[in-house]
C-alpha cells in the first residue's frame, strides 16, 4: 500500500529520519543560512561554518553528501547545539525586527507585524518550544 494523502481514510506511513539524514539536513541548513547571510557560495562558507561549530570541513562535507554509515554521537550533539544556537539567534533577530516595526507602525498597520510574528512562530516551532525567549 502506498502512502496516501490526508482525508481519504487511509493511514499515512512515515519513516522517521535517521540521525544521519537529520544531521545532513542540519548541515545544509547551517551552510545555506551562512551563504545567504554573507552572499557567498556554500562551498566558500563551509570552512566558516565548520570553524564556528568546531568540526572539520571534511566532516561537514561527508555528512552533507551522506557519505557516512553512522554519525558519531559527539558530532551529532555538536550539530544539534549549533542548530539550536542558530535558531535562538534567528528568533532574537526577528523579535528585534518586530520591536522596530511596532515602534514605527504607530498608525495601526499590523500587516508587517503579522508577517514577522509568523516568522518568529516558525522559528520557535523549529526550535521545538514556545517557551524559549
| 103 has a pLDDT exceeding 70 | yes
Return d(Cα 28, Cα 13) in angstroms, integer: 25
Residue 10 counted as domain residue: no
Q: How confident is the model at residue 130 (pLDDT cuts 50, 70, 90)?
A: very low
- 6 falls within a domain: no
Q: Kindly state whether residue 92 falls inside one of the protein's structural domains.
A: yes
In a domain, 23, yes or no: yes
Asked if the structure places residue 57 within a domain, the reply is yes
Distance from the Cα of residue 35 to its chain's centroid: 13
What is the overall mean pLDDT for the chain? 81
pLDDT given for residue 9 in this prediction: 53
Q: Is residue 114 part of a domain?
A: yes
CB 59 within 8 A of CB 75: yes
Number of residues written out for the chain = 133
**pLDDT confidence bin for 83, thresholds 50/70/90:** very high
Sign of torsion, CA 22 86 129 110? negative
28 inside domain: yes
31 lies in which domain range?
19-127
Which pLDDT score, from 0 to 100, does residue 123 have? 81
In a domain, 101, yes or no: yes
- The domain tally of the chain equals 1
Handedness of CA 91, 97, 100, 106 (dihedral sign): negative
Angle between helical axes of 73-104 and 42-53 (0-180°, round to 10): 110
Structure confidence by residue, pLDDT tens digits, 18-55: 888 999 999 999 999 999 999 999 999 999 999 999 99
Amino acid at each position: 500500500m502506498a502512502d496516501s494523502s490526508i482525508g481519504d481514510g487511509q493511514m499515512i506511513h512515515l519513516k522517521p529520519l535517521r540521525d544521519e539524514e537529520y544531521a545532513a539536513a542540519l548541515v545544509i541548513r547551517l551552510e545555506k543560512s551562512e551563504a545567504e547571510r554573507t552572499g557567498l557560495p556554500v562551498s566558500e562558507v563551509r570552512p566558516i561554518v565548520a570553524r564556528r561549530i568546531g568540526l572539520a570541513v571534511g566532516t561537514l562535507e561527508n555528512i552533507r553528501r551522506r557519505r557516512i554509515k553512522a554519525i558519531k554521537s559527539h558530532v551529532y550533539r555538536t550539530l544539534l547545539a549549533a542548530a539550536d544556537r542558530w535558531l535562538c539567534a534567528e528568533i532574537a533577530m526577528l523579535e528585534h525586527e518586530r520591536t522596530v516595526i511596532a515602534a514605527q507602525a504607530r498608525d495601526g498597520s499590523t500587516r508587517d507585524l503579522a508577517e514577522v510574528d509568523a516568522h518568529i512562530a516558525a522559528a520557535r516551532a523549529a526550535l521545538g518550544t514556545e517557551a524559549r525567549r
